[in-house]
Structure formats: C-alpha cells, structure tokens
Amino acid sequence: MGQFIDLKAADGHASPVYVAQPAGAAKGGVVVIQEIFGVNSHIQSVADFYAAHGYLAVAPAIFQRVKPGVDLGYSQDDMGAGMALKTAVEALPSPGVMQDIQAAIQHASQAGKVGIVGFCYGGLLTWRSACELDGLSAAAPYYGGGMTTPDEIARKPKVPVQAHFGDQDHWIPLDSVEAFKKAHPQVEVHIYHANHGFNCDQRGSYDAPSAKLAQQRTLEFFARHLG
C-alpha cells in the first residue's frame, strides 16, 4: 500500500500524488496516469502492482487544477462527471497538467530510469508525455482516447512506446489505430479482442486474459528500457 504526498510543479502548483514503494531496491520508476475517474482505488492498485514488481510507482492527481480530491467510480454519473473534468483540463492554458506529470517524472527519477503508463485519458496523456516531456525512457499508453486522431498522430515520440488497444473499443475505431500504426512503425502496437477499459477489474468491460497479457508485455517492455 502506498500513500499520498504533495508535489509542486514548475509553476508552484501543488498536487497530491499516490506513491507506492517497492519492497527492496527499486529497479526504476513508473509514473501511472489515471483514467477520467481520478486516482481512485483502481489506479492505486495499478501503482501497487508496479511497486510489487520492483518499481517506485507515482500516480499524480491530474484533475487537481480543476477540482481537488477527485475519486470516482464507474457508473454513468461518474462517467459524465469524469468527461466534464477532462474537458476542463483540456481547456487549461498550456502546459496545463503536463507540468504536473513532469513533476511526477522528476520524483520517480530518484529510483533510476522512468517509464510511464496510462489508461483512457491517461493513455492520451502518456502519449503526449512520450512526445513532449523530459526524463522518460519508455511509455505504455492503454486505449488512449483521442490518441489516434490526426493531431495526436502528428506528434513524434522521444522514447520507445508500446501501445495497447481493444478491437471492440467504440471510442477508438480500428481504422484510426491502423493509421496510427502506419504513421509510427517504430511504435510497438498490440491489439486485443477486448473493449475500452479492458485493464480495469472494476469495469464491466474488464477482460482478464487481455489485461494479464498486456501487463506481462508492459513489464517486459519496462524491463528492457528501464534496466
């Protein structure tokens, strides 16, 4: 189990981050980027998972600039609230929450090389982080909503990327995933027979075989690039 601490971004804004420590010496750092539901029990469990595999895991609260203390579930009402918060975050003046993610990367770097993993909206922010931020060695976005739009495809990653998508994801059409793959042949793209949110065991779309395989691939990917 981890704990929340406050981290200050470059502009002085303080945000809580959930930090999970490995049992022994850290193999590196992993920044975990939330879905639109906040740093809830699921995202904390993801951070705990990476800590259990030897990484210093850091999960920043990326909605803090628009609403403190966001901790949502997965009901339709929660979905609506989360979408509204995402819209508010996207409307922030640049660099917005990217500076909070940068602060999390900096904190994680005390453990060595840093990877980043994110889900849903966090997948999109993970892709942007791979293209814009400093201090990363690898990035693994999961079903990043909006990540396969032309504007996002136009970005160029600075670090190795392993991307995970579901072939039944109505938020991310497969033809857009194919366009992403074509534009970024160096990116390792995996497609699962699953829906959006397949990694989250608190969602109806959870798919255990896909989640387990994606976790295994991500751990191997991080082992290659953070070791």
The DSSP bridge pattern shows strands 114-119 and 138-142 to be parallel
HEC string of 42-89 equals: HHHHHHHHHHHCCEEEEEECCCCCCCCCCECCCCHHHHHHHHHHHHHH
Give CA separation, 166 vs 74, 117, 180, 192, in Å: 19, 16, 14, 5
**Residue 131 annotated among the catalytic residues of the structure:** no
Q: Catalytic pick from 48, 100, 120, 207?
A: 120
Which residue among 48, 100, 169, 207 is the active-site one? Answer: 169
Q: Which of 196, 200, 207, 225 is catalytic?
A: 196
Q: Is 190 exposed, middle or buried (0-12, 13-18, 19+ CB in 10 A)?
A: middle
Termini Cα distance of the chain: 24
Instruction: Decide if 120 is catalytic.
Output: yes
Active site residues: 120, 169, 196
